[in-house]
Amino acid sequence: MNENQQSLLLESAARFPPPKGVRLSYGTAGFRADASLLESTVFRVGILAALRSLKTGSVIGLMITASHNKVSDNGIKVADPSGGMLTQDWEPFSDAIANAPDPHSLLQLITEFVKKEEIGFEGRQPAAEVLLGRDTRPSGEALLEAAKQGITSIIGAIGTDMGVVTTPQLHWMVRARNGGLEASESSYFHQLSTSFRCLMDLKPEGISKNGNDATLLVDGADGVGGEKLEQFKKMLAGLCIEVRNRGDGILNEGVGADYVQKEKVAPRSFGSADTGLRCASLDGDADRLVYFSVLSNENNKIELVDGDKILSLFALFIKEQLSILNEGEDKKGNDSYQARLGVVQTAYANGASTDYLKEMGLEVVLTPTGVKYLHEKAAEFDIGIYFEANGHGTILFSEAFLCWLETSHKTLLSTSEGSVKQKAASRLLAVSQLINQAVGDALSGLLLVEVILKYMGWSIHRWNELYHDLPSRQLKVKVVDRTAVVTANAETVTVQPIGIQEAMNAEIAKYPRGRCFIRPSGTEDVIRVYAEATTQDAADALASSVARLVDQYLGFGSS
Ligand code: G16
């Protein structure tokens, strides 16, 4: 780094002093905190993004969002060249720079890192480019400006503002740009609507309707997703959507996928008049999706169709298309390809879903919470489907498989156009275009759910009958220091504080099919508790007793 670069960094960093007495850390999906604490962090992550762009020679993305968190929070997520989350190798550096106390120590960390990573400052013009996006939070505009100043404090780096977008749209744009395609909202809508139409045209004739032609009601969480879907729905012939909670109310307050999934109640603006209808809920930045149906008999209670059920629906559909393609093929023949289909879940996956997926003969892998972990595992399969129970997930297709699929599809078109095999190949190709392979995307996920339901001729209730969830309960406990909880084996075992796992085991043993784990949240300052058992009362009791243990071991001593 030359002198000009060093003094530019010192000068700009002086304008963004870090808040006193606060330590921020890179969590499940980037930094997240009260928005008033974040200016210096996003400025510094702007520098990191510019360096990442220099290092990789590719466009990087920065999204200002706190997703499902309350409206006064904000945060920043980084998209790597593939459109996926920032490589985990760079997380320690992001932690270090976020907490550097002054411009000189910041400069020193950057200088050492640039040297270690052998980041060159000469080359193409512009030397680095970062696409910036933000959700609808009021603090977003000022934070985006701080991030931009971070980016431009690396000489030759530019920040391109993509405006108010969903997180998955920004990740998609980064992936598109690095793949030589146009990165705009209109190209995103075009790709999704074209592949959606293709799949709708390929649905079998004469399937029973089973009520799935009725309007889909969508809870937009009063965030960016509702706004975008309202715009986009006009391009979706054959699908009738009514979007509620489009931004008039408070973001994520009594609305959104996180609220619906965790509380298992209908969001604001949904009620008994909607009983039995097919409903979906997006989260604050539209990277999560859950479905639900309002129950008639109980106030605000819902039948929840969560990420595990979305995963199961996708797995069923993909498996069926693959077996159509492979029917009658000589397994050793050149034309067949035994694609490895695998699914990835976390400890939050309902035990019944994992049993169901295994009974389908699928390989099921468990990772810690956070799409960065699930995505990485799913990429090891030819077709990897990953979903968290909270509705965050997608499908990844390997390049080798897509290459084979494209060639087979061409051959089938010339030899047997209109055959069941050709249609199965077309469907899989269309799914690879519709689904956002950069990151979980509520909008593209929703369209895929809708076409599969049409294909199957299923109602939401028939879909929900795939298997019966074990009753579960999630709680959060405020503690003095959440980093005191250390877990292992994909968060299924707590190794610290010492003794708590044994105490939890004693509680779990009281309930048939009891299962429970705790973990520190990476997006909120709490410990999360998950419990499941054969009855709701048992799951509730198990969760409460373990929450009390957490409080005894680590809390403020309230119980
Ligand atoms: C983020 C991550 C998800 C994770 C969620 C909850 O979601 O992207 O993978 O499941 O946080 O994390 P935690 O339990 O650690 O708070 P989002 O939608 O909030 O960005």
pLDDT number for residue 205: 75
CA-nearest of 130, 88, 104 to 9 is 104
Q: Cα–chain-centroid distance for residue 463?
A: 22
On whether the CB atoms of residues 510 and 546 are closer than 8 A, the answer is: no
Task: Looking at the CA of residue 85, tell me the nearest atom of ligand 1.
Answer: 8
In Å, what is the CA distance from 231 to each residue of 234, 257, 274?
7, 20, 23
328 pLDDT more than 90: no
Tokens 């009362």 -> residue: 537
Overall fold of domain 3-180? Alpha-D-Glucose-1,6-Bisphosphate; Chain A, domain 3 (3.40.120)
Residues sharing a CB contact under 8 Å with residue 517, sequence separation 6 or more, in sequence order: 347, 487, 491, 492, 493, 494, 504, 529, 530
Q: Which residue has the higher pLDDT, 205 or 420?
A: 420
By most ligand atoms within 8 Å of CB, the mutation choice from 69, 346, 390 for ligand 1 is 390
Residues sharing a CB contact under 8 Å with residue 317, sequence separation 6 or more, in sequence order: 431, 452, 455, 456
401 Cα–ligand 1 center, Å: 30
Three-state secondary-structure class, residue 207 = coil
Task: Looking at the CA of residue 390, tell me the nearest atom of ligand 1.
Answer: 10
Task: Tell me what the mean pLDDT of segment 259-273 comes to.
Answer: 95
pLDDT number for residue 212: 60
pLDDT above 90: percentage of residues in the chain: 91
Nearest residue CA, atom 4 of ligand 1? Answer: 370
Task: Name the pLDDT band for 165 (thresholds 50, 70, 90).
Answer: very high
Dump pLDDT digits (tens) for 279-323.
Answer: 999 999 999 999 999 998 778 899 999 999 999 999 999 999 999
Structure ipTM: 0.95
122 pLDDT more than 80: no
Q: Cα–chain-centroid distance for residue 358?
A: 23
232 pLDDT more than 70: yes
Provide the annotated binding site for Mg(2+). Answer: 67, 283, 285, 287
Q: Which residue has the higher pLDDT, 539 or 2?
A: 539
214 Cα–ligand 1 center, Å: 32
Task: Looking at the CA of residue 28, tell me the nearest atom of ligand 1.
Answer: 15
208 pLDDT more than 60: no
Check for a shared fold between 3-180 and 214-305: yes
Provide the annotated binding site for substrate. Answer: 388-390, 519-523, 528
CA 530/CA 518 separation, integer angstroms? 6
Domain map (residue ranges) of the chain: 3-180, 214-305, 308-330+337-465, 472-554
Lookup: tokens for 392: 């965050």
By most ligand atoms within 8 Å of CB, the mutation choice from 369, 374, 377, 519 for ligand 1 is 369
Task: Looking at the CA of residue 528, tell me the nearest atom of ligand 1.
Answer: 14
Dump pLDDT digits (tens) for 487-528.
Answer: 999 999 999 999 999 999 999 999 999 999 999 998 888 999
Nearest residue CA, atom 3 of ligand 1? Answer: 370
426 pLDDT more than 80: yes
Strands (E), 256-376: 279-282, 289-294, 302-305, 341-345, 363-366
pLDDT number for residue 36: 97
Lookup: tokens for 133: 């996006």
Strands (E), 200-329: 216-219, 241-244, 279-282, 289-294, 302-305
Task: Tell me what the mean pLDDT of segment 86-112 comes to.
Answer: 97
Long-range CB contacts (within 8 A, 24+) of 288-291: 288/67, 288/68, 288/257, 288/258, 288/390, 288/391, 288/392, 288/440, 288/442, 289/257, 289/391, 289/440, 289/442, 289/445, 289/446, 289/449, 290/257, 290/260, 290/261, 290/390, 290/391, 291/449, 291/460, 291/463
Strands (E), 126-273: 128-134, 157-164, 216-219, 241-244
**What letter would DSSP give residue 307?**
H
CA-nearest of 433, 412, 434, 432 to 422 is 412
Using the CB atoms, write b or e for 20-38: b if 16+ within 10 Å: eeeebebbbbbbbbebeeb
468 Cα–ligand 1 center, Å: 25
123 pLDDT more than 70: no
Tokens 């390809």 -> residue: 337
pLDDT number for residue 523: 87
Lookup: tokens for 335: 């034309």
Nearest residue CA, atom 9 of ligand 1? Answer: 370
Task: Looking at the CA of residue 285, tell me the nearest atom of ligand 1.
Answer: 18
**What letter would DSSP give residue 338?**
-
Task: Looking at the CA of residue 75, tell me the nearest atom of ligand 1.
Answer: 20
Using the CB atoms, write b or e for 283-309: b if 16+ within 10 Å: bbbbbbbbbbbbeeeeeeebbbbbbbb
Nearest residue CA, atom 1 of ligand 1? Answer: 29
345 pLDDT more than 90: yes
Dump pLDDT digits (tens) for 236-257.
Answer: 999 999 999 999 999 999 999 9
CA 66/CA 39 separation, integer angstroms? 14
Give the residue ranges of DSSP H helices in 202-256: 224-232
Overall fold of domain 308-330+337-465? Alpha-D-Glucose-1,6-Bisphosphate; Chain A, domain 3 (3.40.120)
329 pLDDT more than 80: no
- β-pairing, 157-164 with 128-134? parallel
Task: Tell me what the mean pLDDT of segment 368-375 comes to.
Answer: 95
Provide the annotated binding site. Answer: 67, 283, 285, 287, 388-390, 519-523, 528
Nearest residue CA, atom 11 of ligand 1? Answer: 28
pLDDT number for residue 359: 97
The dihedral built from the CA positions of residue 306, 434, 191 and 209, taken in this order, carries a sign that is negative
pLDDT number for residue 121: 80
**CA atoms in the 13 A half-sphere facing the CB of 352:** 15
CA-nearest of 391, 375, 390, 517 to 448 is 391
309 Cα–ligand 1 center, Å: 18
The angle at the Cα of 523, spanning 521 to 525, to the nearest 5 degrees, equals 65
Task: Tell me what the mean pLDDT of segment 361-370 comes to.
Answer: 96
Q: Can you identify the CATH homologous superfamily of domain 472-554?
A: Alpha-D-phosphohexomutase, C-terminal domain (3.30.310.50)
Q: Write the DSSP string, 392-439.
A: -EEEEE-HHHHHHHHHHHHHHHHHHTTSHHHHHHHHHHHHHHHS-SSS
CA 140/CA 75 separation, integer angstroms? 9
523 Cα–ligand 1 center, Å: 6
Nearest residue CA, atom 10 of ligand 1? Answer: 370
Residue 126: exposed, middle, or buried by beta-carbon count in 10 A (0-12, 13-18, 19+)? middle
373 Cα–ligand 1 center, Å: 11
CB neighbours (10 Å) of residue 161? 15
Mean pLDDT across the chain = 94
Lookup: tokens for 334: 């050149």
Q: Return the CATH number of the domain spanning residue range 214-305.
A: 3.40.120.10
Dump pLDDT digits (tens) for 526-557.
Answer: 999 999 999 999 999 999 999 999 999 998 76
Task: Tell me what the mean pLDDT of segment 162-170 comes to.
Answer: 98
Lining ligand 1 with CB less than 6 A are 28-29, 67-68, 283, 287-288, 369-371, 388, 390, 392, 521-524, 528
Active site residues: 67
Nearest residue CA, atom 14 of ligand 1? Answer: 521
Task: Tell me what the mean pLDDT of segment 86-108 comes to.
Answer: 97
31 Cα–ligand 1 center, Å: 11
On whether the CB atoms of residues 558 and 478 are closer than 8 A, the answer is: no
pLDDT number for residue 303: 96
Dump pLDDT digits (tens) for 188-206.
Answer: 999 999 999 999 999 887 6
168 Cα–ligand 1 center, Å: 14
